[in-house]
Structure 1
Amino acid sequence: MPRNPGDFAGIRKMEETVRAVQDTALRQMAVWSGVGVLVLALLAGVLGWWLAGRALRPVASMTAAARRISEQNLHQRLALTGPDDELHRLADTFDAMLDGLERAFETRRRFVANASHELKTPLATQRASLQVALADPLPDHLAEVRADLLATNREAEHLVDALLLLARGDRGLDETEQVDLAATTRLVTAELAAAAAERRVGLTAEAEDATPVRGDRILLRHLMTNVVRNAVQYNHPGGRVRVRIEGRTVTVVNTGPPVPADKIPALFEPFRRLTPDRTAPTPGNGLGLPVAASIAEAHAAALTATPGPQGGLTVTLRFPPAP
């Protein structure tokens, strides 16, 4: 019996409806599968980040503590807590190494301070004995010997004083106060004016909006004295030394022999000078800039040097902002 054309149309319509439902279902499934994958990926990422942070938190703590530890605060330790794993054993090993370093630095500081103190008394006695014993008029050749002996004694006392300052700067600051950089600089330049005039070196100082800093007044005076004296001493006749204070920054520029940039770091090491021969008649004991750098570090200040535009050095001292 022949089918009614309407039946075929109904079947096709039904097939199209089923196909449309299937396509819609597939699209919905694809959409929700994509959403599910994204949600799972996001959850996996968050969970992985949390687990990684939890696992690496001790490493970050150790890194931050290691950055804080320096020669000035070797008493600090990592003191890592938690399970006795590889990281904990690494932290304990690092703390043990810091114990050894602290003992070594403290031994060095005590030795320098004690040896310097012990040397000051015999040097002062020696100077007094020379002055008393050789006070009477002497022949010319003995007068020269007396002058050489007194000069050698004076240089030895300066060396001991510098070592004491170096040890004191390494120990850090016990008490601080407000220090006027401009007044300190004026005092230092006035004290060194005679030495500059003797060497025929022009010495000038200027201040612009100088800001007081917290620190040890005596140590800061020695710091400025060492830097300015170094600029006067390592100069040439007719040269210049210009000291400028702006805010919390002090700049000392001097003329003189050119200084290679790669040689500047050595100037901040004790007993290091540019002259290759230590027996050469170069004034100074090689402790001026190292002492200044030690005092600057004790004040959390940065002391840097660059070759000067006309020879010599440009030494910059920057104090940190007020807390």
Structure 2
Amino acid sequence: MAETVADQDRDGSPGGGRRRAGAALRRLTRHPRIVPLLARLTPRSVRARTTLAACASLAIVLFVASAGVLLLLRVNLGRTVEAGAREQAQAVARLATDGHLPAQLALDHGTDFIQVTDGTGRVVAASQNLAGHPPLTAGRDNDGHDTYDLGILGDEHHQHVTTVTADTPTGPVTIRVGASLHTADTAEDLTTAALAVLGALLLPTVGLLTWRATGRALRPVEAIRAEVAAIGDRDLDRRVPEPPSDDEIARLAHTMNAMLDRLEAAGTRQRRFIADASHELRSPLTVLRTQLEIAGTHPDPAVRAELVAGALQDTERLQTLAGDLLLLARLDTTGHDRPDQPVDLTGLVRTAAGAGPAPGPTVELHASEGVTVTGNPLWLGRLLTNLLDNARRHARSRVTVRLSTDAATGDAVLDVTNDGPRIDPADRERIFERFTRLDDARSRDDGGTGLGLPIARDIAALHGGTLTVEDTPPGTTFRTRLPTAPPAG
């Protein structure tokens, strides 16, 4: 006994409508105007994109879940209908095998028709609704499924057809039993409608909740943006509001305020630097002008020569000050771009230590061999010169220079020590501020501008190092640490 099964749509071909809908969708998505239109319709705000993404994600989840539910429902109901049709067909097959097949067959509940044909295609038995009708003819659709013309039943609907072959005393017969899928279709339609209503309710609800939640979450961001937009170059004392929560937005606000603190401090330093530079330039310019005016009107040639010599000294001081200001500006604009040229620090130290003026304190040098750092040799030379000039200016009789390598960290350590007066601990950081002089009168007389130590510290920081002040009786030591260059190869 052989058995085949076929599902018959009302139009005679299974799945035809679904194939046509898929082809139409593919043609629509390939249209050349669709993609630009979708690009223009894409929302640009974070709030709208988040809401759209939430709704799209929910729609996809609902679609997949609904498809799964409908598939399970169809499979379960189809199996139930198939089991009833198979049971009916097997019962008829047993009657035919025993030779007790009646001409008219009774239909079980859920069965639409029964038709039995012999080997010649003649109808030997049928249900009442097919009595007197010709045999059902099977065809093939494009997918290889059996199809049947069921128009003779009058009320056409989706059916499940089971075909069974049985041997009888008079020869083989073919039994076709059609079971109605109307109940399954109705259940599927109702389930589809319920899922569609559920989706229609869930999507707007999720969209509204996402829109409101995103708006509430982004409200502090908009407040931060508005405050930052209102801050000008003269309003750096203003700060953005910091939410009380400890989330990413609160950390963003805290970071923005920290950045504004740095900008305000930088602006304050710049204004103070400009004011100090103006003051430093005004004094020698005033003196220079006075000297030149007197020299131009004084009748004594000796006095005129002395005034011109003084004017030349003030001009040199102005030139030094201008050079220091330009170097500071260049160091400020260099930022974090560290020079990467290998520099023989031992050679630089020896050159700088031996280049001092003859009348002055004695310079003792203790330098290790082969100390190499990475940096700019001109700037590192300026750092050494500034430290040595400062040490000579404040030393009583001796300046000691030591260059070594720290065994623990591998850094190059340069100590410039003078035996002059110690620096008060409260002033050890202030001396690195620009235009700061602890002994203003003496510094001016010695030609100091108050920029040597700030320049030295900026150069050390630019090279990834530090410059600090330490007490080393009987004097003061300026200690510079610089990272050494990696070994070649």
- For 1:265 and 1:108, locate their aligned partners in 2 and report how far apart those are by CA, in whole Å: 15
- The answer as to 2:447 corresponding to 1:283 is yes
Task: Please tell me the root mean square deviation across aligned C-alpha atoms, in Å.
Answer: 3.6
Of 215, 230, 233 in structure 1, the residue corresponding to residue 390 of structure 2 is 230
Q: Deviations over 1:157-196 (max 9, x none)?
A: 211211222233333335321011111112212322x2xx
Q: Deviations over 1:203-234 (max 9, x none)?
A: 23231144200111111111111001111122
- For 2:442 and 2:401, locate their aligned partners in 1 and report how far apart those are by CA, in whole Å: 29
What residue number does 1:179 align with? Answer: 343
Matches within 5 A, 1:110-129: none
What residue number does 2:400 align with? Answer: 242
SS in 2 for 1:258: coil
* TM-score for both structures, normalised by structure 1: 0.58
Matches within 5 A, 1:138-217: 139-170=301-332, 171-172=334-335, 173=337, 175-192=339-356, 194=357, 197-198=358-359, 200-217=360-377
Query: Is the 8 Å Cα contact of residues 109 and 167 (structure 1) preserved in structure 2?
Result: no
Deviation at 1:287, TM superposition (A): 1.1
- For 1:211 and 1:295, locate their aligned partners in 2 and report how far apart those are by CA, in whole Å: 18
Deviation at 1:270, TM superposition (A): 1.1
Task: State the AA in 2 paired with 1:246.
Answer: S
- For 1:265 and 1:112, locate their aligned partners in 2 and report how far apart those are by CA, in whole Å: 17
- For 2:307 and 2:252, locate their aligned partners in 1 and report how far apart those are by CA, in whole Å: 60
What residue number does 1:24 align with? Answer: none
What residue number does 2:253 align with? Answer: 93
Query: Is the 8 Å Cα contact of residues 401 and 416 (structure 2) preserved in structure 1?
Result: yes
Residues 95, 186 of structure 1: alpha-carbon distance in 2 compared, 3 angstrom cutoff: same
Higher relative contact order (CA 8 A, sep 6+): 1
- For 1:147 and 1:320, locate their aligned partners in 2 and report how far apart those are by CA, in whole Å: 45
SS in 2 for 1:203: strand
- For 2:460 and 2:390, locate their aligned partners in 1 and report how far apart those are by CA, in whole Å: 16
Task: State the AA in 2 paired with 1:316.
Answer: R
Deviation at 1:307, TM superposition (A): 2.8
Hey, which of these two has a bigger chunk of strand by percent?
Answer: 2
Task: State the AA in 2 paired with 1:140.
Answer: A
Query: Is the 8 Å Cα contact of residues 339 and 374 (structure 2) preserved in structure 1?
Result: no
- For 2:370 and 2:468, locate their aligned partners in 1 and report how far apart those are by CA, in whole Å: 19
- For 1:107 and 1:183, locate their aligned partners in 2 and report how far apart those are by CA, in whole Å: 39
- For 1:155 and 1:255, locate their aligned partners in 2 and report how far apart those are by CA, in whole Å: 27
* TM-score for both structures, normalised by structure 2: 0.39
Deviation at 1:294, TM superposition (A): 0.8
Task: State the AA in 2 paired with 1:258.
Answer: R
- For 2:263 and 2:367, locate their aligned partners in 1 and report how far apart those are by CA, in whole Å: 43
- The answer as to 2:417 corresponding to 1:257 is no
SS in 1 for 2:415: strand
Deviation at 1:241, TM superposition (A): 1.0
Query: Is the 8 Å Cα contact of residues 112 and 163 (structure 1) preserved in structure 2?
Result: no
Deviation at 1:253, TM superposition (A): 1.1
Flag structure 1 segments of 5+ consecutive residues without an equivalent.
1-84
- For 2:255 and 2:422, locate their aligned partners in 1 and report how far apart those are by CA, in whole Å: 45
Query: Is the 8 Å Cα contact of residues 260 and 307 (structure 1) preserved in structure 2?
Result: no
Deviation at 1:90, TM superposition (A): 2.0
What residue number does 2:479 align with? Answer: 316
Residues 142, 203 of structure 1: alpha-carbon distance in 2 compared, 3 angstrom cutoff: same
- For 1:214 and 1:280, locate their aligned partners in 2 and report how far apart those are by CA, in whole Å: 35
Q: Deviations over 1:87-118 (max 9, x none)?
A: 222222134335546666489779979xx9xx
Residues 258, 86 of structure 1: alpha-carbon distance in 2 compared, 3 angstrom cutoff: closer
- For 1:259 and 1:112, locate their aligned partners in 2 and report how far apart those are by CA, in whole Å: 24
Residues 101, 262 of structure 1: alpha-carbon distance in 2 compared, 3 angstrom cutoff: closer
Task: State the AA in 1 paired with 2:350.
Answer: R
